[in-house]
Amino acid sequence: MALGPFYVAQKLSEPNALRGFVILARHGETAWNREGRVMGRQPVSLDERGIAQVKAAVAIARKLKPDLIYTSPLRRARQTAEILSAGLGGIEIIDEPQLEEVRYGKWEGMTYKELLKDEDYLLYKKFPLERPTPGGETIADVQARGRQAVARALSQNAGRRLLFVSHGDIIRTLICHFMGLDLANFHRIRVDNAAFSGVEIVGDFAEIKFLNLLADPERAFAPPFPT
């Protein structure tokens, strides 16, 4: 038997105040996702395809058995949380503003092709850890508020299984944190719409249970939008 599980078993058995299970879910698809258009804080709703994705994901959520849902209050995330809650028998939903999408400022509404002509974006793309978005956030700021939201929820619900409905880049930064990866690698992590990732946390230790779990796994091999 590999020795890795021995280390994990020892860490998970240590007494610690901060303990619990974190399930990260990205909201379902919107028309803007398919267009490669930056949503940011815009009140974009799920479309029929996104709603169908989340409904299909309910079967996975039932097997994961979360006790409580924390969600970004943005419309597409809140819709996702409500569909999942209904499929789980109406479990409680709590709005958590720190799970909201990155503040993209003037980039909101722009397409990928338009961004490639924007000098601010090209600098941000080159130096994502140092350059803030036009909305005033660095990717480290995004990670920090996501970590705060998760830690606060865990401290209030010790030992429970919590589902966090959020957005792609926040989930990527959180996975980097839990895996101990340099934040510069956040864009290497695939996070699809209506996908789940799972983590068990004990103090400052985290074991990744699964990443980007989909009801339709073939979708993970498709490009995120036509380029």
Q: Where are the domains of the chain?
A: 16-217
Model confidence pLDDT, tens digit, residues 65-86: 999 999 999 999 999 999 999 9
Pair of tokens at residue 93: 């939903």
Architecture of domain 16-217: 3-Layer(aba) Sandwich (3.40)
- Strand ranges in the chain using DSSP code E only, listed in sequence order: 19-26, 68-71, 93-95, 161-166, 196-202, 205-213
Distance from C-alpha of 32 to C-alpha of 47, rounded to nearest angstrom: 9
Per-residue confidence (pLDDT) for residue 1, from 0 to 100: 55
Q: Report DSSP letters for 175-207, one per residue.
A: HHHHHT--GGGGGGS---TT-EEEEEEETTEEE
Q: Which amino acid is at 69?
A: I
Model confidence pLDDT, tens digit, residues 179-224: 999 999 999 999 999 999 999 998 889 999 999 999 999 999 998 8
Sequence-distant (≥ 6) Cβ neighbours of residue 53 within 8 angstroms: 28, 29, 193, 194, 215, 216
Sequence-distant (≥ 6) Cβ neighbours of residue 42 within 8 angstroms: 32, 108, 109
- Which residue, among 61, 55, 51, 24, has the nearest Cα to 169 in the 3D structure? 24
Tokens 């979708």 found at:
219
